[in-house]
Amino acid sequence: MTDKILARQEAGIGHLVFNNPERRNAVSLEMWEAVERLLDDYAADDAVRVVVISGAGEKAFVSGADISKFEDERANAGAVQRYDEVTSRVFAKLTAHPKPTIAAITGSCVGGGVAIAICCDLRIAGEGARFGIPAAKLGLGYAFDGIRHLVELVGPAFAKEIFFTARLFSAAEAAGMGLVNRVLPDDQVDAYAEEYARAISANAPLTIAAVKTTVGEILKDPDGRDLATCEAMKRACFESEDYTEGRRAFLEKRAPRFKGA
């Protein structure tokens, strides 16, 4: 693992921190590869119930790709293909991650930063956060899935505005579009995301996983939906020990202790 991606785990929460503050947390290929490994680790770890993603320092969540590395990492067609394959896997794994994911966003969230954020389940932003996709100022092409994720969140009109203008949008504008779930004072974002993560981690993991899977299927074309898996996950909730625990806790007026089984 590179020291530019930090990980820590506590109380059922896995943290993933982009740690390149001198470059506003711009992401190199080495960092993307580390993110992929860490997402795999958290997916396989039953002790992790929620993943929180953030950026080190106060200036940025993630400001996009590290352009200073392009000569080494994207200098020719073969290198570009490898880079794109790695980033595509990261975005796919983040979108389909079995655990709920929260982006805690302060400062700049630009380009690849927006791509990361919109792959998360929830986005908590500071009032000073700024969002933008500058592809049209750089002549870059954008992948179908990246545009699709944005359209699913904000709709086609706002997605076009974000891409066509290539400008920075305020946190308030992002909230109005539906790009973020909450906007808070900058110094409260991390604590709020932690509190949210703890609340989610205390809830029934099987229920959360079933809902996350079902929402993902709802967003697919009807012919491609796996309704059998959705039904099986719903049944598994009712057949679980956690369902018994939830009923007992309600009747006994205490907090439930869910095991995810």
- We report the CATH number of the domain holding residue 147 as 3.90.226.10
Q: Indicate if 11 and 132 belong to the same structural domain.
A: yes
Residue 140 phi/psi, 5-degree rounding, is -85, 150
- The pLDDT of residue 218: 95
Q: Indicate if 225 and 126 belong to the same structural domain.
A: no
Q: Measured between alpha carbons, how far is residue 58 from residues 7, 22, 114, 134, 252 in Å?
A: 18, 11, 17, 21, 45
Quote the distance between the C-alpha of residue 51 and its chain's center.
Answer: 8
- Does the pLDDT at position 20 exceed 90? yes
**pLDDT 10s digits, 159-189:** 999 999 999 999 999 999 999 999 999 999 9
Q: What is the CA radius of gyration of the chain?
A: 19
Average pLDDT, the chain: 94
Q: Indicate if 15 and 81 belong to the same structural domain.
A: yes
**pLDDT 10s digits, 41-56:** 999 999 999 999 999 9
In a domain, 35, yes or no: yes
Q: Indicate if 158 and 231 belong to the same structural domain.
A: no
Domain count, the chain: 2
**pLDDT 10s digits, 233-259:** 999 999 999 999 999 999 999 999 999
Strand order in the sheet with 101-105: 5-10, 13-18, 50-55, 101-105, 122-126, 182-184
**pLDDT 10s digits, 192-231:** 999 999 999 999 999 999 999 999 999 999 999 999 999 9
Q: What 3-state class would DSSP assign to 50?
A: strand
Q: Provide the percentage of residues in the chain whose pLDDT is more than 90.
A: 86
Range of the domain at 192: 5-201
By CB atoms closer than 10 A (0-12, 13-18, 19+), residue 31 is buried
**pLDDT 10s digits, 112-156:** 999 999 999 999 999 999 999 999 998 888 889 899 999 999 999
Please state whether beta strands 13-18 and 5-10 pair in parallel, antiparallel, or not at all (unpaired). antiparallel
pTM: 0.94
Whole-angstrom Cα distance, residue 152 to residue 132?
17
Q: Indicate if 150 and 35 belong to the same structural domain.
A: yes
| For the chain, counts of helices (H) and of strands (E) | 11, 10
Contact 32, 87 (CB under 8 A): yes
Closest CA to 116 of 18, 214, 221, 8: 18
- The pLDDT of residue 75: 62
Q: Indicate if 211 and 166 belong to the same structural domain.
A: no
In a domain, 259, yes or no: no
Q: Indicate if 181 and 236 belong to the same structural domain.
A: no
The pLDDT of 27-49, averaged and rounded, is 95
pLDDT range class, residue 70, cuts 50, 70, 90: low
Q: Indicate if 124 and 239 belong to the same structural domain.
A: no
